[in-house]
């Protein structure tokens, strides 16, 4: 069943962020203390050698600048928290949907896996290479290809591939090593300290930022 899991580590991280925000009450106290010191400085200055008023203005301007920078830092931290929450909600809405992700490995469980390779140059020999945990490599010939998207489909049962994780690589006679994109159904979303992580059928655990394409409706 499709689920959205919450990592307990993420709870600690998100709660720590607001604590790092600047306390505006402390800033007000700091400003009041500065004004008190400024008044005392004026009151007890040497009448024969009065302090230039420009110096007072510069001091107050510096204080105002510090306060403005602190307020800006607070706003930036709040915006980061908001963006993180929005990203989590967006990822959660993908459960049960098909996505295409950039992947350098596959998690085969017996079902067919589809995807594509995008070539920048024509290739007379294009080979998709799968390597298991023991270093055993399986080559899947994609044949001569023109520049552009090259779709592929992997049938683990037909190829005699056991369930497990396989590294992915593409070799061409032009020397190009393009990336691989895998299409799959999002089974669940886990919230981690590094952001949402999607469990994509055929690709395994994939960070949210590796999504390259969304598809409408549920995958067949």
Reported as a single tens digit per residue, the pLDDT across 135-152 is 999 999 999 999 999 999
Which of these three, 30, 57, 92, is where a domain ends? 92
At 46 the pLDDT is 67
Q: Are residues 126 and 148 in the same domain?
A: yes
Q: Are residues 87 and 103 in the same domain?
A: no
Lowest mean pLDDT, pick from 7-21, 53-67, 79-93: 7-21
Q: How many structural domains comprise the chain? A: 2
* Nearest alpha-carbon partner for 120 in 150, 152, 147: 147
**202 in a structural domain:** yes
Check whether 164 has a pLDDT greater than 70: yes
**219 in a structural domain:** no
Q: Are residues 105 and 209 in the same domain?
A: yes
Q: Are residues 81 and 140 in the same domain?
A: no
CATH number of residue 200's parent domain: 2.60.40.4070
In this predicted model, which residue has the larger pLDDT, 128 or 37? 128
In this predicted model, which residue has the larger pLDDT, 128 or 215? 128
Instruction: Give the rounded distance of the alpha carbon of 52 from its chain centre.
Output: 53
**220 in a structural domain:** no
Q: Are residues 121 and 197 in the same domain?
A: yes
Q: Are residues 65 and 123 in the same domain?
A: no
Q: Are residues 115 and 50 in the same domain?
A: no
| Confidence band of 120 (pLDDT split at 50, 70, 90) | very high
**119 in a structural domain:** yes
Beta strands in the chain (DSSP E): 3-6, 98-103, 105-108, 113-119, 126-131, 137-141, 148-154, 164-172, 180-192, 195-200, 204-207, 211-214
Check whether 52 has a pLDDT greater than 70: no
Which of these three, 52, 69, 92, is where a domain ends? 92
Q: Are residues 87 and 184 in the same domain?
A: no
Strand pairing category for 211-214 and 98-103: antiparallel
Residues of the domain holding 132 = 98-214
**pTM score, whole prediction:** 0.58
At 194 the pLDDT is 77
Q: Are residues 117 and 204 in the same domain?
A: yes
**22 in a structural domain:** yes
Strand pairing category for 180-192 and 3-6: parallel
């Amino acid at each position: 069943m499709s689920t959205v899991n919450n990592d307990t580590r993420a709870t600690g991280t998100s709660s720590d962020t607001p604590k790092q925000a600047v306390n505006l009450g402390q800033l007000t106290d700091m400003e009041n203390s500065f004004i008190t010191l400024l008044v005392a400085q004026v009151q007890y200055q040497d009448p024969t050698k009065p302090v230039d008023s420009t110096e007072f203005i510069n001091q107050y301007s510096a204080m105002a600048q510090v306060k403005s920078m602190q307020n800006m830092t607070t706003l930036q931290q709040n915006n980061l928290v908001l963006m993180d929450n929005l990203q989590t909600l967006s990822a959660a809405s993908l459960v049960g949907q098909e996505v295409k992700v950039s992947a350098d490995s596959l998690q085969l469980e017996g079902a067919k896996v589809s995807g594509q390779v995008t070539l920048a140059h024509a290739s007379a020999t294009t080979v998709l290479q799968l390597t298991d945990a023991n270093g055993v490599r399986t080559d899947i010939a994609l044949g001569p290809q023109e520049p552009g998207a090259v779709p592929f489909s992997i049938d683990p049962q037909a190829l005699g591939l056991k369930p497990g994780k396989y590294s992915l690589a593409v070799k061409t006679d032009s020397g190009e090593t393009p990336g691989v994109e895998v299409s799959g159904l999002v089974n669940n979303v886990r919230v981690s300290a590094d952001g949402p992580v999607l469990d994509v059928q055929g690709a395994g655990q994939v960070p949210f930022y590796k999504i390259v394409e969304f598809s409408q409706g549920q995958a067949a």
